[in-house]
Every structure is written in C-alpha cells, then in structure tokens.
Amino acid sequence: MPADTDLIKLYSNRILGLAADIPHHTRLDAPDATVKKRSPLCGSTVTVDIQVENGRITGFGQDVKACALGQAAAAVTGGAVMGLTLQDIKTGRDALRAMLKSSGPVPPAPFDAFEVLEPARDYKNRHASILLSIEAAAEAMEQAVQSDCA
C-alpha cells in the first residue's frame, strides 16, 4: 500500500489544474449518441455526448461528477477527442488501461497528457474513475457509428 506522502504526490498541482479546467464540460443539445458511465466503487459518474460526421467526432460534451483524478482524466479526454475516429478513441482507451493496470507506456498522442496520471497506477481503486470519460467516449462513438451505418 502506498504511503500517505505518495497520495499527496498523486494529487499534484498539474492534476488539480486539469480537474479545474475540463474542456467541453457542457452537454450537447443534439448529440448523435450519449453514454453515462458510473464507477460503483467510488460513485464517480461521467455522461458523454458526441456528434459525429464522416466517422470523426465533431462535437463533444461531458458532465463529470468525479474525484480529482476522474476530472483530470476527463480533461485530457475532452482536450484530445475532437476530430478523432472510433479507432483513435479505442487506441487511447486501451493504452490508458494498459498504463494503469499493467504498467504499460503512456498513451500515444493525442492522449499523451494522460502521463500526469501515471502515479495512479498504484491506486487500483481509482482506475475505474480515471477510465470513465474515455470509456464513455468510446462507447458513444461506437453507438454513433453503428446508427450512422444503419
């Protein structure tokens, strides 16, 4: 178990700064898809709305009710997703999951800002909250792409 001083380091000024400035923090009026994700362990909740055109995200909004780590992760997600494809989002999601759960490398650009959350690897109880926004974005993108093909 990490020491209390490690926990203090975890909540760095960079993480707190991201948590205080989440891009696209307003829900969309007419989304192509909406996904709400909740972490049962901590109760963090993220709702993501997306709009998609030609297989790329053209609109993104999110309502984030999470701890500082979940908020910071939502800030990174919100700052990176515009213009991305479903595969781009899945690649970022999978890389973030690997970084947290199996000490994988920092996700590639445009998700490389997730580097700030590397210290959270040792806090398995925080992983679900950190993954909420990007998992919701991937699921919403899947729904939007499927309905666009229908």
Whether 49 shows a pLDDT value over 50: the answer reads: yes
- Indicate the pLDDT class of residue 4, thresholds 50, 70 and 90: very low
* Tokens found for residue 88: 């781009």
- Could you give the CA distance from residue 62 to residue 55 in angstroms, rounded to a whole number? 19
Average pLDDT, the chain: 88
| Secondary structure of 89-147 in HEC code, one letter for each residue | HHHHHHHHHHHHHHCCCCCCCCCHHHHHHHHHHHCHHHHHHHHHHHHHHHHHHHHHHHH
Q: Which pLDDT value is given to residue 150?
A: 45
- Could you give the CA distance from residue 148 to residue 92 in angstroms, rounded to a whole number? 22
Are 137 and 94 in contact by the 8 Å Cβ rule? The answer is: no
- The residue among 57 and 67 whose pLDDT is bigger is 57
- The model carries a pTM of 0.87
> 6-46, pLDDT tens digit by residue?
545 666 667 766 666 777 778 999 999 999 999 988 889 99
> 78-93, pLDDT tens digit by residue?
999 999 999 999 999 9
Domain 4-142 has CATH 2.60.40.10: no
The domain segmentation of the chain, as residue ranges, is: 4-142
